[in-house]
Amino acid sequence: MRSDTQRNVSFANAFGNVEPVRKTINGLNIMVDPRMELLAAVQFMSGYNDRTYLLTNEQFSYKNDMSEYFRNFRSHAAVKYFDTLSSKYNFTYDAPPAATLYVTAQYDETGNFGFSEYLINRTGIDKLDKFARYLLQFSADTDFSRFYNEHMDFYEEVVERTAAVMEDDLIGDIENYYGIKQNSYNIILVPMFHPGGFASRLENKDGSFDIYSIQGPLGADGDIPVFGTAGSFGDLVYHEFGHSFVNPLTEKYRDEVNKHQKLYEPIADKMGSGSNAYGSWETCVNEHIVRAVTARLLLTHEGGEIYLKTLDQERAKGFYYINDICKKLEEFEANREKFGSFEEFYPELENVLKNLSEREPGDGC
């Protein structure tokens, strides 16, 4: 029998009549999603930001409104349990927003949230299931739908201002480069999140994927959070969406990639510290490849100066192997008839890692 704080609350009852505020530009869905606002409220009421600094430092009325509306729920079971998960069970960074994407109306039909293997391996199915139920209960107990609906004008303004800077066909850029199409591309704007992005994807029954970039504001214009310029969105979309193309391939070739784990040793300190927090070789490989592809796309659309500056910046962050990967990507770009898609080319990148691992110390990276 469930305790009062774990009552089986349905999606419909918990969320009421709330829907994302959405606008589509060149195939890119830009939105504020009520599920992420709910998660942000739980994080904001917890000690999460004190430990991770993953919530915004910007000041605007919405932040004050959230503090005032939810302040009496700091001891709610959802808040306490989130604190436990995030402090003891690696439920940080992309894991909470990725898990929250699975809290959908489909749950009412299946009784199963359907969490990905990645999330299950990271946090555990029982813990994820319990968190999702607590999240729904938090929504019901706080009358979250009232808070969300009261701020509809704010959400619409955030979406409209962001959509106004989306001039380029960013989706066309990445689909043409990778030679792979996804089912949908979605940017979720979360005013309370830190100035960065989290990548995630959801698989549909037909095997296609809806991919997401979940991001916080870079600043504020008056009382409205600002999520970026045309240039910064290009960089972010190339990067965050790139993970949905690259990560599954690294997983497919995991055994080969992991033969070269010694390459992680000279960069471990930089990879595992500060804003990076890339604590495994597999994650590090994904980041190198995604950042290399992003740099190559910037070369095409922004020119050589931006490209070289980007490479310098990435190497300063510890991505020492990015030049070698970019050099190999030149072969991909010059031989698209041979390599129809990035998936066909990926083993060539594994050869880059092999060659790097065979270098003598002092040969450079």
Q: Is 207 helix (H, G, I), strand (E, B) or coil?
A: coil
User: Averaged over 193-216, what is the pLDDT?
Assistant: 89
Q: Which residues contact 242 (CB under 8 A, 6 or more apart)?
A: 174, 178, 199, 289, 290, 293, 294
CA 111 to chain centre: 26
**Residue 191 near residue 56, CB atoms below 8 Å:** yes
The pLDDT value given to residue 97: 97
What six digits make up the tokens of 47?
Answer: 């000690």
Least confident of 146-150, 154-158, 206-210, 229-233: 229-233
Interval 246-277: pLDDT, tens: 999 999 999 999 999 999 999 998 887 655 56
Integer Cα distance of 159 and 162 in angstroms? 5
| pLDDT tens track for 316-326 | 999 999 999 99
Q: Which pLDDT score, from 0 to 100, does residue 149 have?
A: 96
| Residue 233, pLDDT above cutoff 80 | yes
Alpha carbon separation from 194 to 43, 184, 186 (Å, rounded): 12, 24, 18
Residue type at position 57: N
Which pTM value belongs to this model? 0.84
Residue-level pLDDT at 5: 41
Q: How would you list the strands of the sheet with 209-215, edge to edge?
A: 21-25, 28-32, 184-189, 209-215, 197-203
Q: Which residue has the higher pLDDT, 29 or 274?
A: 29
For residue 314, give both structure tokens.
């990435």
> Is residue 74's pLDDT more than 50?
yes
Q: What residue segments make up the domains of the chain, in order of their start?
A: 23-226, 253-357
Cα separation, 252 vs 250, whole angstroms:
5
Q: Which two tokens stand for residue 332?
A: 């991909």
Q: Work out the mean pLDDT of the chain and round it to a whole number.
A: 91
Provide mean pLDDT across the span 163-182: 91
pLDDT per position as a tens digit, 281-290:
999 999 999 9
Whether residue 15 has pLDDT greater than 80: no
Render pLDDT for 84-93 as a digit per residue (tens, 0 to 9).
999 999 899 9
